Amino acid sequence: MATHTRRASVLLLAAVSTAALALAGCGQAGSSGTEAPATVSGAGCAPVAGDQLVVLEDDKHLQNADNVIAVANAKAASPALLAAVDKVAAALDTPKLVALNKAVEVDRKTSQVAAQDFAAQAGLTSGLSGGNGPVTVGAANFPESRTLAELYKIALNAAGFKATVQTTGNRELYEAALERGELTVFPEYAATLTEFLNQKQNGKDAAPKATGDIDATVTALKELAAKAGLTVGTPSKAADQNAYAVTKAFADQHQLKTLSDFAAKCSGTASILAGPAECPERPFCQPGLDKTYGIKFGNFLQADAGGAQTKTALTTGKATLGTVFSSDGTLVPNP
C-alpha cells in the first residue's frame, strides 16, 4: 500500500492474483469507475457530510483476513514465549486496536505509554511464567507495529524473559532477520504474511493462499512459515485490513451496519466511491464490491488508500463510501 504505512504491502494485497493487470489510471477526480453511469441501475445514495467515520462490516468476507498474529523464529519459539504473545492476541480485538491507535496517533501518547496503559487494564502480566534469557521483539516503523511490539515486550518480561524492542525496516529485511534468529518474534498480519511467504517460496505468480477465512489462512501460513524456519502464534480477533467507511451521519440516516445493507439500500447512480487510482482495476476494491455484494456506483472519486484524501472526501460530503483501514485510530464504533 504505497500510501499506507501500517503494512509494507501493495494496495489491496489479495490483488496479487491479478498482478498481470495493468494499473490503468482512472481519470480525474469525479470520473466514472469501471462502468459508465448510464449503465448503472438503482438510485443510490448521495453522500452525507459528517465529522465521524464508521466502517461497514464486510459480512461476506470480500477482504482477506489480516488478523494480527505473532511470527517467531522456530528455534526460539518456546512454549513460554508463545504463551506470552498469545496472551496479547487474546486481549485484543479490532475496536481495542483502534483505541490503541487513537491513543498514539490522535491523543499523542507514546507507544510505550499506550501499551502500558492497555496492559494494566487487560491484566496482561498475570499468569505468565517459564521464560528466561534475552529475546528481541521486532517492530516495523509505524505506530501500530511499535505499540504491538511493546505489548509483546510487556508480556514476555512478565513471563521471565529479558525482552527488548528493535525497530526494523521493510518486510523483506525483518522476515530474513527472523529466519536468521537476529529477531525473535514480530507482530504480523496473517494474510499479508501468508502471501509474502507464498510468493517468496513459490514465485510472484503463485496462486494466492490467503482468503477471508482466518482459519484457512492460518493453516496455509503455518505450512509456509515452517518451510522458512518460522512458527506463528494464535491469531488475534484484532485485524488491520482493507475496509469501507461512510460517515456516521450517513450510516445513521440509512440505518447501515454492513456492506450488504449498503448494497440493499444504496447501490446506484447517486453513490460515489472514493479510493486510490487502482481501485477500479482491483478485484478487492470496486470490482469486488460489485461481484461480492452487487454494489454499483455512479462515479468514482480518485483519492488515496485510506489516507487523508479519502477521509476528507467522506467527511466533506464528496464521496458516499471510501476505502479505509479497519484499525484506523480516527474511526468511531458503528453500534
| pLDDT in single tens digits along all 335 residues of the chain | 333 444 434 344 444 333 332 222 333 333 434 444 457 878 999 999 999 999 999 999 999 999 999 999 999 999 999 999 999 999 999 999 999 999 999 999 999 999 999 999 999 999 999 999 999 999 999 999 999 999 999 999 999 999 999 999 899 999 999 999 999 999 999 999 999 999 999 999 999 999 999 999 999 999 999 999 999 999 999 999 999 999 999 999 999 999 999 999 999 999 999 999 999 999 889 999 999 999 999 999 999 999 999 999 999 999 999 999 999 999 999 88
- Closest alpha carbon to 244 in 113, 60, 29, 92: 60
Q: What is the DSSP string of 41-67?
A: -SB-------S-EEEEB-TT--S---B
* Cβ–Cβ under 8 Å, residues 33 and 300: yes
- Give ∠ CA 119-189-304 in degrees, rounded to 5: 105
What's the pLDDT at 41? 78
CATH 3.10.105 domain span(s) along the chain? 68-232
pLDDT score, position 63: 95
Is residue 142 a contact partner of residue 5, using CB atoms and an 8 Å limit?
yes
Question: Is the CB of residue 266 less than 8 Å from the CB of residue 289?
Answer: no
68-232 classified as CATH 3.10.105 = yes
* Residue 184, all three cell numbers: 525473535
The secondary structure element, H or E, covering residue 188 is strand 185-189
The third-level CATH classification (topology) of the domain covering 13-62+241-325 is D-Maltodextrin-Binding Protein; domain 2 (3.40.190)
Contact between 178 and 230 under an 8 Å Cβ cutoff? The reply is: yes
- pTM exceeds cut of 0.75: yes
Closest CA to 178 of 77, 271, 97, 93: 77
